[in-house]
């Protein structure tokens, strides 16, 4: 047996989609479980008393204790690494926020060393929060993609990213052209897509900053490389939606703009989608595109409360993952993001159970990115990306956990009260990539 890493503790994972088949049929909880990993993949998952006898007798087992929770690593389906320096910028809604904070910050990524320093910090924050895969917007500068991929490769992360395409309605130094954007993206695909665990995402920022010619070029590039992802924004803000009607009067809906240019299909990830119409949700279901639900961002920018139950409607369910959407999002913590998803559901008169929420952060996110056969759950053969949570990470949580009735309650406490302090360890491809420093008492 190859050199292995073995962890022990309570285990939570999903074998299917609880929105479709219910939690009883899809959520697996092992009160005392083992996950064994070798060569970057999971080799064993099961109750400790069943799995331990199958492992070599001298194998070292890292026991995280009964107050831990071992889960598949979190999947962030929508995030902008270059916006890390401007997280928590006050006072504007989407279009003004882009002008006032986003574009000036993204201009700084012409400087490769600055871009690298932010990429390192961004990936470190991901690991500190148990995020082992993210789908990332870079800037218009190809070197912003290069540095992120280089740093992700050094950490062995599975990660998708792409150069932002913008050829109008942005500062000149942030604009490419349809041809230049196509050529630079094509070169990045050749170099990086499928290299190790890295994937390329063709990234027209949104229809507001791309001409029809650029959207056409992005569609052509995706047809030439259909196993790449494609990411963009849609129907986030009411003023944005009205602006799209002005820019593209010939299209009946916002999604139709992208569809017309060949940008709807499997592996398309649309950020936000708060104000989508019924016909657009139906089309997303048909084409296999996904929505990245970014609740903390939606609240921070005052964009609205995404209606998850409507998107997931069983007559035409759309794939949905969750996104931190840094820097409009307010936290790298996936637990805080799930708390936001709960609040967003509440504003729509629904309730999001903890089990459904943890699914969205793991297997659901992986499914949104068409990666659920590789990541997002704990099963032999899958890539060994794990997060180990500490279910008693603060004095208040510790106290509240003593009152908790059952697993659902304990999980819900985490997504309502916990943050990065709850992440004890993050494993990437079977390697301990982050461990929380010992707490000062």
Residue of 4, 9, 46, 80 that binds ligand GUN (CB under 6 A): 80
**What does the DSSP assignment read for 126-162?**
HHHTTEEEEEEE--SSHHHHHHHHHHHHHHT--EEEE
Residue 437: how many other CB atoms lie within 10 Å: 6
Tokens of 263: 């940008």
Q: Nearest-CA neighbor of 40 among 439, 434, 436, 430?
A: 430
151/348 Cα distance (integer angstroms): 40
Q: Which residues contact 33 (CB under 8 A, 6 or more apart)?
A: 8, 9, 10, 11, 45, 46, 47, 48, 51, 70
End-to-end CA distance of the chain: 41
Q: Which residues contact 252 (CB under 8 A, 6 or more apart)?
A: 279
State the minimum distance, in angstroms, from the CB of residue 271 to Zn ion: 5
Q: Is 46 in the site for Zn ion (CB under 5 A)?
A: no
Q: Is 297 in the site for ligand GUN (CB under 6 A)?
A: yes
State the minimum distance, in angstroms, from the CB of residue 94 to ligand GUN: 6
State the minimum distance, in angstroms, from the CB of residue 132 to ligand GUN: 23
Residue of 10, 130, 204, 271 that binds Zn ion (CB under 5 A): 271
State the minimum distance, in angstroms, from the CB of residue 194 to ligand GUN: 26
State the minimum distance, in angstroms, from the CB of residue 377 to ligand GUN: 29
- Taking phi over 0 as left and psi of -120 to 50 as alpha, with beta for the rest, 302 belongs to left
Q: Is 206 in the site for ligand GUN (CB under 6 A)?
A: yes
Task: Tell me the window of 58-66, 201-209, 267-275, 390-398 that interacts with Zn ion (CB under 5 A).
Answer: 267-275
Percentages of the chain per state (helix, strand, coil), in multiples of 5: 45, 25, 35
Task: Tell me the window of 44-52, 192-200, 269-277, 385-393 that interacts with Zn ion (CB under 5 A).
Answer: 269-277
Q: How many residues of this chain interact with ligand GUN, rule: CB under 6 A?
A: 11
Using CB under 6 A as the binding rule, the residues of this chain from 85 to 114 that contact ligand GUN are 94, 98, 102
State the minimum distance, in angstroms, from the CB of residue 32 to ligand GUN: 42
State the minimum distance, in angstroms, from the CB of residue 376 to ligand GUN: 24
- Going by their DSSP bridges, the two strands 27-38 and 68-72 should be labelled as unpaired
Residue of 17, 236, 385, 390 that binds ligand GUN (CB under 6 A): 236
Answer with the entry of ligand GUN, Zn ion, none that 176 interacts with (C-beta below 5 to 8 A by kind).
Answer: none
Q: Nearest-CA neighbor of 136 among 200, 219, 86, 191?
A: 200
Whichever of 195 and 245 has its CB closer to ligand GUN, that residue is: 245
Q: What does the per-residue mask of binding to ligand GUN show for 26-65, with x meaning CB under 6 A?
A: ----------------------------------------
Answer with the entry of Zn ion, ligand GUN, none that 94 interacts with (C-beta below 5 to 8 A by kind).
Answer: ligand GUN
Using CB under 5 A as the binding rule, the residues of this chain from 303 to 362 that contact Zn ion are 325
Residue of 11, 328, 388, 415 that binds ligand GUN (CB under 6 A): 328
Task: Say whether 26 sits in a helix, a strand or coil.
Answer: helix
Residue 370 and residue 381 in contact, taking contact as beta carbons nearer than 8 Å: no
State the minimum distance, in angstroms, from the CB of residue 343 to Zn ion: 19
State the minimum distance, in angstroms, from the CB of residue 116 to ligand GUN: 21
Using CB under 6 A as the binding rule, the residues of this chain from 358 to 417 that contact ligand GUN are none
Q: Nearest-CA neighbor of 384 among 7, 1, 2?
A: 7
27/16 Cα distance (integer angstroms): 8
Q: What angle do CA 84, 87, 90 make, to 5 degrees?
A: 155
264/280 Cα distance (integer angstroms): 11
Answer with the entry of Zn ion, ligand GUN, none that 206 interacts with (C-beta below 5 to 8 A by kind).
Answer: ligand GUN
Residue of 116, 158, 197, 233 that binds ligand GUN (CB under 6 A): 233
Residue 116 and residue 354 in contact, taking contact as beta carbons nearer than 8 Å: no
Whichever of 109 and 206 has its CB closer to ligand GUN, that residue is: 206
Q: Is 163 in the site for ligand GUN (CB under 6 A)?
A: no
349 class by beta-carbon count within 10 Å (0-12 exposed, 13-18 middle, 19+ buried): exposed
Q: How many residues of this chain interact with Zn ion, rule: CB under 5 A?
A: 2
Residues at the interface with ligand GUN (CB under 6 A): 80, 94, 98, 102, 205-206, 233, 236, 297, 325, 328
Residues at the interface with Zn ion (CB under 5 A): 271, 325
């Amino acid at each position: 047996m190859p050199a292995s890493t073995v962890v022990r503790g309570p285990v939570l994972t999903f074998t299917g989609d609880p929105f479709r088949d219910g939690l009883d049929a899809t959520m697996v909880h092992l009160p005392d479980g083992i996950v064994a990993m070798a060569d970057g993949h999971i080799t064993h998952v099961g109750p400790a008393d069943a799995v331990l006898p199958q492992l070599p007798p001298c194998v070292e087992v890292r026991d995280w204790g009964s107050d831990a929770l071992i889960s598949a690593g979190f999947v962030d389906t929508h995030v902008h690494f270059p916006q890390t320096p401007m997280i928590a910028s006050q006072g504007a809604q989407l279009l003004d926020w882009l002008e006032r904070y986003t574009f000036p910050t993204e201009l700084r990524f012409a400087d490769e060393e600055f871009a690298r320093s932010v990429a390192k910090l961004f990936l470190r924050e991901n690991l500190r929060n148990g995020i082992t895969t993210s789908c990332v917007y870079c800037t218009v500068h190809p070197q912003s993609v290069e540095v992120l991929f280089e740093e992700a490769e050094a950490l062995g992360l599975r990660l998708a990213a792409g150069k932002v395409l913008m050829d109008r309605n942005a500062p000149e130094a942030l604009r490419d052209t349809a041809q230049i954007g196509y050529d630079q993206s094509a070169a990045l695909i050749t170099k990086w897509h499928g290299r190790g665990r890295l994937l390329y995402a063709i990234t027209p920022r949104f229809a507001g900053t791309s001409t029809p010619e650029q959207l056409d070029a992005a569609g052509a590039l995706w047809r030439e490389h259909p196993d790449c992802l494609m990411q963009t924004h849609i129907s986030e803000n009411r003023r944005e939606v009205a602006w799209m009607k002005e820019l593209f009067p010939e299209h009946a809906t916002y999604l139709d703009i992208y569809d017309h240019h060949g940008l709807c299909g499997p592996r398309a990830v649309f950020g936000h989608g708060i104000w989508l119409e019924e016909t657009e949700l139906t089309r997303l279901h048909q084409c296999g595109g996904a929505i990245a639900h970014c609740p903390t961002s939606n609240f921070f920018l005052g964009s609205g409360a995404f209606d998850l139950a409507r998107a997931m409607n069983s007559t035409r369910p759309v794939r949905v993952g969750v996104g931190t959407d840094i820097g409009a999002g307010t936290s790298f913590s996936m637990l805080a993001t799930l708390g936001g998803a709960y609040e967003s559901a509440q504003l729509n008169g629904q309730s999001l159970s903890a089990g459904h929420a943890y699914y969205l952060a793991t297997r659901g996110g992986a499914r949104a990115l068409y990666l659920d056969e590789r990541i997002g759950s704990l099963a032999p053969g899958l890539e060994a990306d794990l997060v180990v949570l500490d279910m008693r990470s603060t004095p208040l949580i510790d106290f509240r956990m003593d009152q908790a009735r059952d697993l659902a309650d304990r999980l819900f406490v985490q997504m309502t009260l916990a943050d990065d302090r709850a992440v004890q360890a993050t494993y990437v491809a079977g390697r301990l990539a982050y461990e929380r420093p010992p707490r000062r008492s």
